[in-house]
Amino acid sequence: MNIGAYMCGVLVMPFAIVGLLFGIFKEKATKFVAGFNTFSDEEQAMYDRAAISRDIRNQCFIWSALMLGGTVLSYVLSPYMAIPTFIIWCFLFFKDTHIDAHKAFEKYLLK
């Protein structure tokens, strides 16, 4: 049993499914975005919902591809390849994470 391949492989499908859901439902899927769903309807109207949905879709597909690559590398080379995979994923995840919801979505404000 290759625990590194298993740890990465388990996350491939959930990330791909979430990416697909944001791709299919587009602007409607923004009600599932943490922080954005706490805004009032008037505040939400000030933001580009399509861009938010598109960015989350792209992030999830990138994360899914990263985990798929980690799965393959862990299976072929070494189970320890899961470690750099998760380090890269943590970097990608936390670079777009903000405590303040308004700061997190300021790049999506309609002009």
Predicted pLDDT at 100: 84
Measured between alpha carbons, how far is 14 from 95 in angstroms, rounded to an integer?
21
Predicted pLDDT at 18: 95
Task: Answer yes or no: are the C-beta atoms of 40 and 88 closer than 8 Å.
Answer: no
Residue listed under structure tokens 């992030």: 59
Structure tokens at 86: 């998760």
pLDDT above 70 covers a percentage of the chain that reads 99
Q: What is the pTM of this model?
A: 0.88
